[in-house]
Chain A
Amino acid sequence: MNCIEINQLTKYYSKVKGIEDVSFQVREGEIFGFIGPNGAGKSTTIRTLLGLIFPTSGSATIFGKDCITQGHEIRKDIGYLPSEVFYYEKMKVIDLLKYAGSFYKKDCSKRIYELSEIMELNLNRRIEDLSYGNKKKVGIVQGLLHEPKLIVLDEPTSGLDPLMQQRFFELIKSENKKGASVFFSSHILSEVQHLCNRVAIIKGGHVIQVEDVKTLREDTYKKITLIGESIDLKTFEIEGVTELNKSDHQLDFFYKGDVNLLVNKIQSLELKDILVENPSLEEIFMHYYK
């Protein structure tokens, strides 16, 4: 069962392309990562899902309901945390959270106190007196206080210190265990690697890959480093090798293909050291971006 289905979604800002032909699905119960550099179209996609902006063409459904025509129905079940948080400056934190809670037809006050305790949020201060990190905490609490079935996070961790980031991720994980699906956009790959089951990679308004995080890391590329005198670059100009680089006594490259073929090549060499690693998601990412 899919909780988000996006079909050929396209958004042009007058003539400037936001996203084009974006299609993918998020399954119920998973933590789905959405990664790409700034300006790739992450926020455009998310804002369309939330009904903040309207697509030029294509469609999107959440829990089987259309994002444009049934937006307000859908949003009952969505908790959204934007990358930049702004709230009514003159309000007290607790009043803002109660106002947020009043939009949902259930009593959220217990959850407000629980979440504020976890995030160490002072409820009696005015929004205008809060630091950026504290405003972010308000954002987290107001996004989760109605126990949403789908949590949408748009680069959520900026402004949180490492300890709070950790706590925040724990919170997201526990919500996920309780059954919430999570749609998580980020340009910080270690976060995604750490948290997500599957990822979509978006670049220049197009989704270029949707894959399991594991598959993406393990089954695709090996990062190989060879150290030794007189290694010939030409030996490795074979199919499956990319990012071939030589410096002094070191040669490194990515390899995808039959491992035996590579071992045969290496066999004949005089080496001081050899490293075979799974590339970090960053490196894979850079690869896709080329």
Chain B
Amino acid sequence: MIIFRFELKNYMRTLWIWAISIIALLILFMAFFPVMAEDSQMMDKILENYPEELLKAFGMSEYVPMSTIPGYYAFLFAFVQLCMAVQSAYYGFNFLSVEERERTADFLFSKPVSRRRIFVEKYGAALMALLLTNIALWVGTYISIELFRGANTFEATHILILLASMPLFQLVFFSIGLIVTVFTRKIGSVISYAMGVAFGLYMLNAIRSIVGGKFLGILSPYYYFEPGYILSEGSLNFMWTLLAILIIGLATGIGYKRYVKRNIHAL
């Protein structure tokens, strides 16, 4: 557990920033909900005037109206997903490549630990950090909804199911980072890779919602976990969830296989 503890301590240095940002984002967005709900007819009218493509691109109107809690939360959850995607992809690109990039690999790999253990403990620490971020999401969601929901009622279980989908969502992005890392000799700038993947795939899903069709959806994990869909159905889409699990499993398996045989080159 030596490496796990060491890694987790490193994650903790920046984790609180992620946590506060996510809680702040939730409260800030939710603060506008009372206005939306109060004048729902006017709101719906305004939105009607916007081109449908634009609304779809922002994840609105596809399933539930913006003037209800689930509708508004779905809209806001898309932004939370975007943040979480950046964080998860960042961890994914970083956690195996950092030792080589910062040239500390010689130190760690010459210690009496197997590659297997290094992989497992590093993976575990990253997973733990991602799960801890979820606590912020849960807390932020609860606070923000309770603060601003007023007299509005909603189906809480649907929101809980949406929240429960987050770890899988995170792991998909984490896995993308992981698999790219083990097939790349050196990851230069982790943050630009992470932003690229998170925003790029977000755009892809936005395009999909405009042009329609499922093919682009396969390519974008955002589509597997569309908040509007989950909140209106009250369940995850079985096929897409299966695909997500498949991606995570494959990436982890292949990533592990390659990592234990990876050549750590001299500087």
Residues of A within 8 A of B (CB): 13, 43-44, 47, 50-54, 71-76, 78, 80, 82, 84, 86-89, 99-100, 102-104, 142
Known pairs A75-B112, A103-B112; A84 contacts B103 (CB<8 A): yes
Query: Are B2 and A87 neighbours in the complex by a CB distance under 8 Å?
Result: no
Query: Are B112 and A104 neighbours in the complex by a CB distance under 8 Å?
Result: yes
Which one of B54-62, B71-79, B150-158, B259-267 is at the A interface?
B259-267
Query: Are A103 and B106 neighbours in the complex by a CB distance under 8 Å?
Result: no
Query: Are B263 and A53 neighbours in the complex by a CB distance under 8 Å?
Result: yes
Which B residue sits closest to A72, measured CB to CB? B114
Q: How far is the CB of B199 from chain A (nearest CB, A)?
A: 29
- Set B107, B109, B115, B261: member contacting A86, Cβ < 8 A: B107
Query: Are A54 and B263 neighbours in the complex by a CB distance under 8 Å?
Result: yes
Known pairs A52-B264, A72-B117; A86 contacts B102 (CB<8 A): yes
Which B residue sits closest to A78, measured CB to CB? B110
Query: Are B111 and A82 neighbours in the complex by a CB distance under 8 Å?
Result: no
Query: Are A103 and B267 neighbours in the complex by a CB distance under 8 Å?
Result: no
Q: Does B12 contact A (CB under 8 A)?
A: no
Known pairs A72-B114, A100-B111, A103-B2; A52 contacts B103 (CB<8 A): no
Q: How far is the CB of B82 from chain A (nearest CB, A)?
A: 29
Which B residue sits closest to A104, measured CB to CB? B112
Distance of A43 Cα from B6 Cα, bound (Å): 28
Query: Are A80 and B264 neighbours in the complex by a CB distance under 8 Å?
Result: no
Which B residue sits closest to A138, measured CB to CB? B107
Distance of A78 Cα from B267 Cα, bound (Å): 21
Q: Does B113 contact A (CB under 8 A)?
A: yes
Query: Are A53 and B114 neighbours in the complex by a CB distance under 8 Å?
Result: no
Distance of A99 Cα from B1 Cα, bound (Å): 12
Query: Are B264 and A47 neighbours in the complex by a CB distance under 8 Å?
Result: yes
Q: How far is the CB of B14 from chain A (nearest CB, A)?
A: 12
Chain A residues with Cβ below 8 Å from B110 are 50, 52, 75, 78, 80, 82
Chain B residues with Cβ below 8 Å from A100 are 107, 111
Q: Does B104 contact A (CB under 8 A)?
A: yes
Q: How far is the CB of A88 from chain B (nearest CB, A)?
A: 6
Query: Are A76 and B112 neighbours in the complex by a CB distance under 8 Å?
Result: yes
Which B residue sits closest to A69, measured CB to CB? B114
Query: Are B107 and A75 neighbours in the complex by a CB distance under 8 Å?
Result: no
Chain B residues with Cβ below 8 Å from A142 are 107
Distance of A23 Cα from B117 Cα, bound (Å): 31
- Set A50, A78, A102: member contacting B2, Cβ < 8 A: A102
Chain B residues with Cβ below 8 Å from A75 are 110-113
Within 8 A of A (CB), among B62-84: none
Residues of B within 8 A of A (CB): 2, 6, 102-107, 109-115, 117, 261, 263-267
Distance of A78 Cα from B104 Cα, bound (Å): 17
Besides A13-B263, A75-B110, 10 more A-B contacts (Cβ < 8 Å) are A43-B266, A51-B109, A51-B115, A52-B109, A52-B263, A53-B263, A88-B107, A100-B111, A103-B111, A103-B113
Query: Are B2 and A84 neighbours in the complex by a CB distance under 8 Å?
Result: no
Distance of A44 Cα from B105 Cα, bound (Å): 15
- Set A73, A80, A89: member contacting B102, Cβ < 8 A: A89
- By Cβ-Cβ distance, the 4 closest A-B pairs, closest first, are A86-B103, A53-B263, A75-B112, A76-B112
Which B residue sits closest to A142, measured CB to CB? B107
Q: How far is the CB of A159 from chain B (nearest CB, A)?
A: 14
Known pairs A52-B106, A86-B106; A71 contacts B266 (CB<8 A): no
Q: How far is the CB of A16 from chain B (nearest CB, A)?
A: 12
Known pairs A52-B263, A54-B261, A99-B6; A71 contacts B103 (CB<8 A): no
Which A residue sits closest to B265, measured CB to CB? A53
29 pairs, CB–CB < 8 Å, chain A vs chain B = A43-B266, A44-B266, A47-B264, A47-B266, A50-B109, A51-B109, A52-B105, A52-B109, A52-B264, A53-B265, A54-B263, A72-B114, A72-B117, A74-B112, A75-B111, A75-B113, A80-B106, A82-B106, A82-B110, A86-B102, A86-B106, A86-B107, A87-B104, A88-B104, A99-B6, A102-B2, A103-B113, A104-B112, A142-B107
Chain A residues with Cβ below 8 Å from B263 are 13, 52-54
Q: How far is the CB of A21 from chain B (nearest CB, A)?
A: 19
Distance of A73 Cα from B148 Cα, bound (Å): 59
- Set A44, A47, A72, A88: member contacting B112, Cβ < 8 A: A72
Q: How far is the CB of B233 from chain A (nearest CB, A)?
A: 46
Chain A residues with Cβ below 8 Å from B267 are 84, 86
Chain A residues with Cβ below 8 Å from B102 are 86, 88-89
Distance of A46 Cα from B266 Cα, bound (Å): 10
Q: How far is the CB of A91 from chain B (nearest CB, A)?
A: 10
Chain B residues with Cβ below 8 Å from A53 are 263-265
Q: How far is the CB of A207 from chain B (nearest CB, A)?
A: 19
Q: How far is the CB of B200 from chain A (nearest CB, A)?
A: 30
Chain A residues with Cβ below 8 Å from B104 are 86-88
Chain A residues with Cβ below 8 Å from B264 are 47, 52-53
Distance of A104 Cα from B112 Cα, bound (Å): 7
Most buried by A among B105, B106, B113: B106
Chain B residues with Cβ below 8 Å from A50 are 109-110
Which A residue sits closest to B3, measured CB to CB? A103
Q: How far is the CB of A20 from chain B (nearest CB, A)?
A: 17
